[in-house]
Structure 1
């Protein structure tokens, strides 16, 4: 039976939502229903979270033509691709960092056009040119705060293949956000966050809001509101036990990706929280490592239709 770990239950109690969390527990299973298998088979993208060889948590995205995600059995997900060498989780997902041993992997598949999403957590191994994931958790999520977008695959012959030059995608590493990266964060309406429990079990989740919902307090400090959700607190529960976290910010129109790794903490100050519309709590993220990859994805996305659930931004 599904159960919450001690970090999740501690946050649920502190938020005063333990009863709602118990009800939401019914949304956590360990198998992929048939309708969810069909959903996965239609997706061109999945977001993954894991730890690199140095133990830092990163989030990233893998893409492919529909069908690259396949539920071979209700307990096994096959991902028929591996990341490019410039991806911050390339060593982990290629098996190089684990010598073939299973490793924890958090995943979220999201379809912006229909505002549907599902999370899958488990243990992965390299399987030829892809990954095979034995699932521990399959989690239904609500459509709140998802911005509606349509996608297409860029065609290298039509001049829409992004910012990569003759040498391929450009990679920029750093330990703080430069001015252009700060502008990208302030303009963002969506990002994905990866966290892990004290046992290393990894989760990947979505955060969305109107542009400006993520504040850049400094080149190494971000803050965003934690809005009303399903009361599971899988992300904040992990952070209560292990502050390591990673973020991927898709730059939807260009296909570039901004990856951040660092630590995060939940702020429970009611006065500070009250200053942010819609916030139930605040989360601060301390940036320790930055990797920006131009044209990391072949997907190009339309302008967003913002969710009606997004609170206003002050």
Structure 2
């Protein structure tokens, strides 16, 4: 996929604007438009990226399927080569659905520091890949608030924890998959827009905030920054890719499928943050394995997690 000329993102697209209007926050969101200005990777952003060890990328495989995959490495794995260029000195792991990531496509990156509850969103074009990593021509880079980020200190997993396990591909969730989802307090989500390209974002809450029913998933939408990047993309294209990581064992679950926003009555069971919104996800493909070389032994819940209802 080539990078269409003239499509650098400079404001909210029609899906985001529609969501903001329906949620009644259009004026609040308009004040944040400046965050979507063309990227300028300097100063604190450069220092933040240089120290990170974890990110997730939303991109498409050779068949055009959208996936969200972890990227991990020592500090320096994310290197700012210029104010609009980011070098990622690693690739998705062997067996990952994006193992053979190809250049020439739009990608989204979410860079997280769970220990300090900070995250940075990066969108751009994957301009180059080789055996050592990839280069992203960055169009957008902006921080997101610390809401719903669980505090954990990631470290490199010991070698014995990374013993080879077969990677399983399929279409139906197993009992182990369902257990991982129901235990999760965090997942990463990739979405897409037909012009703007792919985006990666973070979702967090208390364990159990993602529900599994009849092989499908749903979770309540929480109050956030009013930008509605993820839900705005789903307004335009229902394609979505979820990544669940067990930060104790390194096991990962990649899901690719379709997501839809549902408006409900406020305060009904499952409307944990009283937004009257939930997202329903139907998986179509999955990849499960031990593909995260990072671990965290303890976790402290985010103070703003809504209780389950």
Q: For 2:106 and 2:98, how far apart are their aligned partners in 1? A: 12
Extract unaligned runs of 5+ from structure 2: 1-8
- Asked whether the equivalents of residues 104 and 124 of structure 1 are also in contact (C-alpha less than 8 Å), the reply is yes
Q: For 2:127 and 2:214, how far apart are their aligned partners in 1? A: 38
Is structure 2 residue 241 aligned with structure 1 residue 246? Answer: yes
Deviation at 1:184, TM superposition (A): 1.0
Judge which range, 40-49 or 50-59, deviates more. 50-59
Is structure 2 residue 289 aligned with structure 1 residue 293? Answer: yes
Q: How many residues align?
A: 298
Match for residue 193 of structure 1? 189
Distance 1:273 1:51, change over 3 A: farther
Map 1:192-211 onto structure 2 (within 5 A): 192-199=188-195, 201-211=197-207
- Name the SS for the 1:183 alignment partner: helix
Runs of 4+ deviating beyond 6 Å: none
Q: For 1:127 and 1:183, how far apart are their aligned partners in 2? A: 35
Map 1:51-200 onto structure 2 (within 5 A): 51-91=60-100, 93=101, 95=102, 100=103, 102-128=104-130, 129-156=132-159, 159=160, 161-162=161-162, 164=163, 168-199=164-195
Is structure 2 residue 11 aligned with structure 1 residue 15? Answer: no
Q: For 2:69 and 2:279, how far apart are their aligned partners in 1? A: 20
RMSD: 1.5
Extract unaligned runs of 5+ from structure 1: none
TM-score (ref. length: structure 1):
0.91
For residues 88-113 of structure 1, what are the alpha-carbon distances to aligned partners after superposition, in whole Å with 9 as ceiling and x for unaligned?
Answer: 1122x2x2xxxx5x211100000000
Q: For 1:233 and 1:290, how far apart are their aligned partners in 2? A: 26
